[in-house]
Structure 1
Amino acid sequence: MPLHHEVHGHGRPGAPSLLLSSGLGGSANFWKPQIPALVAAGWRVVAYDQRGTGRSPETLKADYAIADMARDVVEVLDATDTAQCVVIGHALGGLVGLQLALDAPSRVAGLVLVNAWSRPNPHSARCFDARLALLGAVGARAYVEAQPIFLYPAAWCAEHADVVQAEVDHAFAHFPGEANMRARIGALRAFDVDAQLGRIGVPTLVAAAMDDVLVPWTMSQRLAEGLPHVLFDCVPHGGHAHSVTDPEPFNRSLLAFLGQQLPVS
């Protein structure tokens, strides 16, 4: 089944497109704070709902892997006549970008990795154990109610309580099912390309927030140490989804990186 995808802007001749790949939620809507700024700056933007999520419904196989998700991106690139892209990936979406750069390097002109990682770590494993236990014992409603705890800083959640609750209600209404969620979490937990980082030679922006409670910022630091051509942008606040909670400085950093490393002629 074709994946839901959308194209924004037209770009300029010779410039790669930007492929937006979301985290565990899988929805193109995650990137609403970025798309207008990217299009206004002259970029062609491709966003998609990942397989088994949102507007790309499908039952995933139990052993669904990040490599499968990277092949899904090739499908989206082909469907949108996108020869080459910069993958901008949040968390799981960043893992997809890393895998694509290894498996189909000719399709990747650059990477932006937001609170991502190259190998498992015990803290994130503990968080996912707790989330899966909640899903199994109490159900989807409790799982999505707990989700903002891992995404956003507490003060931001309190200040934006109505927005957070609306997001939770939407996530529950469109929950992809326990089996799909377990398959997706299993895929990201199994991901390990740490020993292969030196093979990824494209310009890369690694973005992290030090108060991310799900993924330690030191995992981004490890990416910055292992990748050959990297800019490391680490901010003190914003949480796991700091591109959402504080989008303006994130967008400035993103556009500066794109303009310097992949200038639009």
Structure 2
Amino acid sequence: MATDTGDTGTLLRHDITIHTGDGAALVARVAGAPDASVTVVFAHGWTLHGEVWRPHVEALVAAGVRVVTYDHRGHGRSTAGRASPWTIDLLGDDLADVIDTVAPEGPVVLCGHSMGGMTIMALAAARPELFGSRITGVVLVGTSAGDLVPTGRGFPASVRLRSVAQTRFFAFGQRYPRVFTRGRTLLPGPDRPRHLRIVRRSLFGPDADPILVRECARMLFAAPMTTVCGFFPALVRHDKAGALAALGTIPVHIVVGAHDRLTPLAHSRALAAELPDATLHIAPDCGHMVCTERPDSVIAPLRELCADRAA
């Protein structure tokens, strides 16, 4: 366990490792006052890690909130475990383990971006009794309840063909990760202009800060190819539409960038339609990384949820 202390010796943050039933070691970071009235747990997106939430953590800790970030299995400092194949439901089980370990008592607010939002949905479907009792609020950021890689007959042929191509590409990478890992060495590095242009176009809005784009590019480039390819089938299979009744029992905020290419606005609108009491926030000029481009679009609803619990 690593610990940071302030000038007065008051605990500011510490790292803790959570061991799952299949042997994964999930590394979590706890920040803020131990006696805070509410704990916020953040779940990051595919190929990212817990440090993506840094500005949100700083803002909430300054407001007196206890905050927990963690790396999904196979991401960041967390190990992969023995479970195979990886699924979003498995990540939901991991999130339950994190909550049980770092916040065994008191109200909890969850915030998930992209695959992290799907993780919260998986937990809601599997453990609905937690919502309204332990979990008192949720923020879903740039995420989807299903059909993220559409292949059904109801979609245009061009969309289905692109989805099939993506699925086959990542399936090949899953079978031959060493080939993909060697191939990555031939690609432009994360600081090269070509790579940065691809990341900006795919994940950010038109006016994104170049520093933020570079930080994200480095994070993505550092993700192991086994993680990149191994989780893609889980994203394809994710389907929790119609299984989110537990989220209807608590306040939910849905945040999405107007220019999101990975989980387009239609996915957030579908979530809002299934959860009619949820509040939908559309951030103009932002892409999939809306939580990075415009941190306050996520911090503001989190502050509201935390204030409701502290009142």
Q: CA RMSD in A?
A: 2.9
What is the match of residue 58 of structure 2?
36
- Indicate conservation of the 8 Å contact 2:47/2:219, yes or no: no
Residue 23 of structure 1, CA deviation: 0.5
1:187/1:248 CA distance change after superposition, 3 Å: same
Question: Match for residue 14 of structure 2?
Answer: none
Instruction: Give the residue type in structure 1 aligned to 2:214.
Output: Q
Matched, 1:102 2:125: yes
CA distance in 2, matches of 1:82, 1:91: 25
Contact 2:252 2:279 in 1 (8 A): yes
What amino acid sits opposite 1:90 in the alignment?
H
- In the TM superposition, residue 235 of structure 1 has moved relative to its aligned partner by 2.0
1:19 to 1:186, Cα distance in 2 relative to 1, 3 A: same
Once residues 215 and 62 of structure 1 are traced to their aligned partners in structure 2, the CA distance between those partners, rounded to angstroms, is 25
- 1:149-170 Cα offsets, whole Å, 9 max, x none, are 32212432xx51x553354345
Q: Deviations over 1:160-193 (max 9, x none)?
A: 1x55335434543x322x3332221211221111
Q: Over alpha carbons, which structure has the higher Rg?
A: 2
The number of residues matched between the two structures is 257
Q: Which has the higher contact order (CA 8 A, sep 6+)?
A: 1
1:151 aligns with one of 187, 203, 212: 203
Specify the SS of the correspondent of 2:40. strand
Higher share of residues assigned helix: 1
Q: Does 1:70 align with 2:92?
A: yes
Pick from 96, 101, 109: which aligns with 1:86?
109
- 1:168 aligned partner: 217
> SS at 2:55's partner residue?
coil
- TM-score norm. by structure 1 comes to 0.84
User: Retained in 2: the 8 A contact 1:124–1:214?
Assistant: no
* Distance across 2 between alignment mates of 1:6 and 1:128: 38
Q: Does 1:264 align with 2:293?
A: no
Of 144, 162, 173, which aligns to 1:117?
Answer: 144
Mapping of residues 44-55 of structure 1, within 5 Å: 44-55=66-77
Give the secondary-structure state (helix, strand or coil) at the position aligned to 2:207. helix
Matches of 1:125 and 1:9 in 2, distance apart? 48
Distance in 2 of aligned mates of 1:241 and 1:127: 22
Q: Deviations over 1:224-262 (max 9, x none)?
A: 110153111112221101111122344234323443xx3
Write the deviation string for residues 198-230 of structure 1: whole angstroms up to 9, x where unpaired: 343221111111111111111101111101531
Tell me the equivalent position of 1:229: 277
Structure 1 spans left out of the alignment, 5+ residues? none
- 1:32 match: secondary structure: helix
TM-score by length of 2: 0.72
Q: Does the C-alpha gap of structure 1 residues 239 and 87 become closer, same or farther in structure 2, counting only changes over 3 Å?
A: same
Q: Greater shift after overlay, 133-142 or 84-93?
A: 133-142
CA distance in structure 1 between the aligned counterparts of 2:297 and 2:276, rounded to whole angstroms: 25
The residue identity in structure 1 corresponding to 2:268 is S
Partners of 2:32 and 2:161 in 1: CA distance: 38
SS at match of 2:236: helix
Distance 2:71 2:275 in 1: 28
State the one-letter code of the partner of 1:57: T
Deviation string for 1:8-43 (max 9, x for gaps)?
Answer: 112656x43111000102411010121111112221
**What is the alpha-carbon distance in structure 2 between the residues aligned to residue 53 and residue 228 of structure 1?**
33
Distance 1:64 1:247 in 2: 29
Gaps of 5+ in 2: 1-23, 151-158, 174-178
- 1:129 shift after superposition: 4.8
